[in-house]
A and B are shown apart, each in its own frame.
Chain A
Amino acid sequence: MSSENIESIVNRCYEHGFVTDIATESLPPGLNEDVIRAISARKNEPEFMLEWRLQAYQQWLEMTEPDWAHVNYPPIDFNAISYYAAPKSDEDRPKSLDEVDPKLLETYDKLGIPLHERARLAGVAVDAVFDSVSVATTFKGKLAEAGVIFCSFSEAVHDHPELVRKYLGSVVPRRDNFYAALNSAVFSDGSFVYIPKGVRCPMELSTYFRINAANTGQFERTLIIADEGSHVSYLEGCTAPMRDENQLHAAVVELVALEGAEIKYSTVQNWYPGDENGVGGIYNFVTKRGDCRGDNSKISWTQVETGSAITWKYPSCILRGANSVGEFYSVAVANNMQQADTGTKMIHIGPNTRSTIVSKGISAGRAQNAYRGLVKVLPQAHGARNHTQCDSLLIGKECGAHTFPYMEIKNPSAKVEHEATTSKISANQLFYCRQRGISEEDAVNMIVNGFCKEVFKELPMEFAVEAQALLNVSLEGAVG
């Protein structure tokens, strides 16, 4: 279809309100109010959602792109991006795994991805993915029994507008930062989770998510609410390499933990990092924040990041409730030309709030890996405590690791500790392993996995195994 045609359809859409049958067409590149109206219309959104997006857009227009991260990239032309990509039709998809690139299948194999998930990950037409569908139906039943709401963000806007209205933007306000504002204006889809009072979610939402999430696009939006005394463990992403024609990805994740609730959010992320020269990799600019709104609540972020050409990401915790706990466990790998600028913010507001930060950065090739962490203790946060441990591992001579710890302590009773180490995989360590019959590559993997152990043990079991395999694949050829 020519772009003229598309435009005429888009225009028609504005004239007549939403037209559902054109939801299968992508929008031409560019961003303005009309584009936002079109997105909202295609999703059949209620008025409040459109208003919310439009306000975000106005705020975004007044903001400028941040430039303080330790990363370099050519300027992004926001008018060259298409903000609504139609879902791929089944005709364009492979019909079965036999039609999928054997190289991709080989990677799945190396990563130990379960057979029943491979078809979905490879984008095989849904009808062909029998296994997944039946598994998903079983999961749905179990969750419904427990009263857990778990659906796409688009569905939540329709089916649970009161919850969306109450919590959307309550952790990451629209104008929080440039990319959050952009996401708020144009977000494509994402996940929505609500765990009712006192409910312990009967399963890792990870498994279910991985089987069901359709391609959520470049501006993903996730909202998780754990009501009083509830508990949920959620896993985002997967170890399979994700390629996307869209270079810029700007997701927003908001977590709300009410009194006594606990949210464990794990991410294993493997966006395409580009080739050895960094060409074609994904720019991943993410805003993730959790709000320990109630007393005795807990939010724990665990992440294993190996992908993207550029990662800019600081999952954070606002420790508002008394005795609330925030945790951040991270492994960030940067190889070849990758640039990663990640870290966390722990904002202590309530009394006796505690936070733990364990960050493991691995740099190889010519990569740059930066840790940026902020620990802030407000005056009313009596007895607040933080422990930060920040370790860097260098493989090779041309890579770099940078640590930027910031602390703002406004309460004298606070206890804040920071430990940092930098180590290298030495030639003697590798030789020692090789003398014991272990290949150089296996030796590197062994040392890297040892380095990351503390973080891996925080991941749900099956993902810990996958994450370990992922790291090995990511560092293939890093030495020698």
Chain B
Amino acid sequence: MSSEQQPGVIVVDRGHPATRDGRGLARGIGVVLRHLRDAFGPRLERPEQTSGVFTVQYPEERTPLPEASRNLPILLFDDDSGHELCTSCYQCERICPPQVIHITQARDPASGKAVPAIDEFILEYDACMSCGLCAEVCPFDAIKMDHAFELSTATRDPLTVDRAGLARPVSYYAQLAPQAWAEARDGAMKKLQGSRRRRTGTVGMTPARAAPPAADEPAAPTAGAAPASQPASGEPAAASDAKAARLAAIRARNAARQREGGDS
């Protein structure tokens, strides 16, 4: 078949069966033995090395994550004022391919007018596929991708995370992604000043700051922790019913808002 040899085409060499008398096997075992020896040697440190200890003893040892690494979305708030960067522009809710973001906009308690802040923000971590489109689309740099990946829970309910559970201080993100934040910082903070001018009272403040936390409530949720406001008790079926009802309420409220003429 290899008679019509074309330029740029190579026919793979099948070797010579006649010379195969166990030497191929011996060579292969030689490779394995060499690696067995090296397995007691030093840790493989540079990617050019192909022999040595490659395994990392997780969870005791961890390899650092690159800055771009993304896992699940978080909502940023300003360290000093406690104000969230999110203005409920609904961009992330619209772009999200699996549609796991649910937002309602805050209203001024006195006038009832919509303000650039969130009232509710629910993200279903269990259905999120970590694509990062929400963080990419966000014009206010309010939603970012976290590096935390140890999120296992015993039940599914803590994975429906609300505003309090998603909140992370800006300083936390700045430490995760120093370069990306250095580029985004000025614009994000300027936009936050703009939206703060239209917020009153505790509207738009992260829940932990808006109401001083109770003694049993952690002030700043650690990465991956279940949101503090989620009821720990209650049978699972009731909890998921409650979740469905909550999401339905959000949808209904947003539909009503759109009928009103979408004052944003």
Do chains A and B interact in one complex? no
